[in-house]
Structure 1
């Protein structure tokens, strides 16, 4: 079982590093969560109340999910030795930037963003 503190770090902290596998799995999970309300709106068959309800749910979770994606991007960029600020490109090219960050290997050993991959960093 994953500790809640590790999940909070993974999805909401901008410090530390994560490898390709963790980045890809966590990112796909966030995309699936984001897609579910959209799926429900599409399946509502013109029922305006249902569409409005699921749009409200989508609007509520969208900001949290974007923040989580940005945190994942920052940690993945840290693993490759880059500043997390480059993660703001995610806001422009969402899925393309996600796929791009799934490709490169991280830097072996410690770097300025943390001692090892998949762990909190030493600085923000």
Structure 2
């Protein structure tokens, strides 16, 4: 996978994404998120503790936007609008698991000719 493909996969909101690619990318984001949360309880010096909240919020924001982009592309794969990805805000891991279940549209749809590629 090239850098541009990875950038599209995690931050692009157009195109379609298959179940397998969605599940793997989402699992990677959850691992990163849980690792960041687990590192909060470490005892660090005062300088690092002062910068930690802003760094943590920035990392979580990037991961959240990335999850929304993945959800939008997954919704596109079975013909739904990407705006439904806002439900990810409410349900997070439940919505992630639900989006892993349905099979995508076979062949082209209005969101792209093929899966795992930008529109």
Q: Give me the TM-score of the superposition, normalised by structure 1.
A: 0.87
Q: Deviations over 1:55-105 (max 9, x none)?
A: 433211111111111100000000011000000100111110000000010
Q: How many residues align?
A: 118
Is contact 1:70-1:88 (8 Å) kept? yes
User: Which segments of 5 or more consecutive residues in structure 1 lack a partner in the other structure?
Assistant: none
Q: Whole-Å Cα distance in 1 between the matches of residues 56 and 17 of structure 2?
A: 27
What is the CA distance between 1:35 and its match in structure 2?
A: 1.2
What is the CA distance between 1:53 and its match in structure 2?
A: 4.8
Q: Deviations over 1:22-74 (max 9, x none)?
A: 000000111111111211113x26x6846655443321111111111110000
User: Which segments of 5 or more consecutive residues in structure 2 lack a partner in the other structure?
Assistant: none
Corresponding residue for 1:35? 34
Is contact 1:77-1:84 (8 Å) kept? yes
Q: Whole-Å Cα distance in 2 between the matches of residues 95 and 53 of structure 1?
A: 28
Q: Whole-Å Cα distance in 1 between the matches of residues 33 and 50 of structure 2?
A: 16
Closer/same/farther in 2, CA of residues 51 and 14 from structure 1, 3 Å limit: same
The CA RMSD over aligned residues, in Å, is 1.6
Q: Give me the TM-score of the superposition, normalised by structure 2.
A: 0.91
Which of 79, 89, 92 in structure 2 is aligned with 1:91? 89
For 1:44-83, list aligned pairs within 5 A. Answer: 44=42, 49=46, 53-83=51-81
Is contact 1:38-1:55 (8 Å) kept? no
